[in-house]
Amino acid sequence: MKQSQPNSSQQKYAKGLTLIELMISIAIMSILITAVGPMVRDILIQNRLIGQINELSAVVQLARHSAINEQVTSIVCPSSDFTTCTADWNLPKMVFLDLDADGIRDDNEDILGGTSRSVSNYNLSGPAGVISFQGSGATASPASLRLCHDSNEAGFARALTISLQGRVRVSQDSNNDGIYETNAGADLTCP
């Protein structure tokens, strides 16, 4: 018996992409990456800003509530060694009860809380001295902490403001223009 040969309509073809189909797919993917890439970057920066400002707000509020609860002066400040305060707000922050009200952490003054070092590519600026809360929850002087991304884009600036009464407020974008404002309503800027 003679075996029959498959005719041309029954031949199996290899499946895959032609060169033209592959080039079109690559073109579409590159357009999508070009369009979506910057948005992903902005979302990542925004999420880091929110995380950093929330952590900072929590530690400042811990200092205020500790002062009220213990009726003793409470200090929040940056520190490189969790012993002495510095003026570099990019360093880790510590909170302690200042039992002798001298503004310096002594050996008998325990650390109540703290934060890690500010994330790289972000700069935190604040007052030259410590932020101290009295037993009433009020602060000796109002303070503002400003967090910026290294790009110095105004849209990536955030602030934490502490009033004389000790209230902690996070900056907001009240006019929805993409730039957060100070308590006075002025746009935040980065140096």
d(CA 112, CA 102): 17
Is the pLDDT score of 15 beyond 80?
no
Per-residue pLDDT tens over the stretch 119-145: 888 999 999 989 999 999 999 889 999
Provide long-range contacts, Cβ within 8 A and 24+ apart, for 137-143. Answer: 137/64, 137/65, 137/67, 137/68, 137/165, 137/166, 138/164, 138/165, 138/166, 139/64, 139/163, 139/164, 139/165, 139/166
Quick one: which of 60, 48, 59 has its CA closest to 120? 48
pLDDT for the residue numbered 8? 55
When computed from its CA atoms, the radius of gyration of the chain, rounded to whole angstroms, is: 28
pLDDT for the residue numbered 84? 92
Count of all residues that appear for the chain in the document: 191
Query: Chain centroid to CA 37: how far?
Result: 20
Per-residue pLDDT tens over the stretch 42-96: 899 999 999 999 999 999 999 999 999 999 999 999 999 999 999 999 999 999 9
pTM here?
A: 0.78
d(CA 96, CA 53): 20
Do residues 74 and 133 lie in contact, with contact meaning Cβ atoms separated by under 8 Å? yes
Do residues 118 and 143 lie in contact, with contact meaning Cβ atoms separated by under 8 Å? no
Is the pLDDT score of 2 beyond 60?
no
